[in-house]
Amino acid sequence: MESLATKFVLALFVPGLLVVFFTRVTFHHAVGLLLTIALIAASVYAGYTHNWILYAADALSLTVGFWFAKRMVERSHRIGDENPDE
């Protein structure tokens, strides 16, 4: 059984990384966010998350991951517009 500290650290990093990963796979930051929210909802439904601090950590990580993924997509589009030959 994991401790609350372990779950908290994972909740701070994993959702944000998942948003970025799904954004890289789907090439759209909103789809990456929705897929990550679906995974978190499934874990809550299964009973793995049951503390308001973990919900807050998940939300913070999702927000930071979404911001980074949106920035990454915009930068990719900007670089693609500068190099029309490729």
Residue 53 confidence (pLDDT): 93
Domain membership of residue 86 (yes or no) is no
Domain membership of residue 38 (yes or no) is yes
Average pLDDT value for residue range 9-31: 94
pLDDT at 1 over 80: no
3-state secondary structure of 14: helix
Residue 84 confidence (pLDDT): 66
| Cα 24 from Cα 20, distance rounded (Å) | 6
**Residue for token pair 């911001």:** 67
| Cα 4 from Cα 44, distance rounded (Å) | 15
Domain membership of residue 61 (yes or no) is yes
Domain membership of residue 9 (yes or no) is yes
Please tell me what DSSP assigns to residue 49: -
Domain membership of residue 11 (yes or no) is yes
Domain membership of residue 37 (yes or no) is yes
Global model pTM greater than 0.75: yes
The tally of domains found in the chain comes to 1
pLDDT tens figures, 31-44: 999 999 999 999 88
| Cα 46 from Cα 53, distance rounded (Å) | 18
pLDDT tens figures, 31-86: 999 999 999 999 889 888 888 999 999 999 999 999 999 999 999 888 877 776 65
Q: What is the extent of the structural domain holding 48?
A: 4-81
Structure token digits, residue 16 = 């944000």
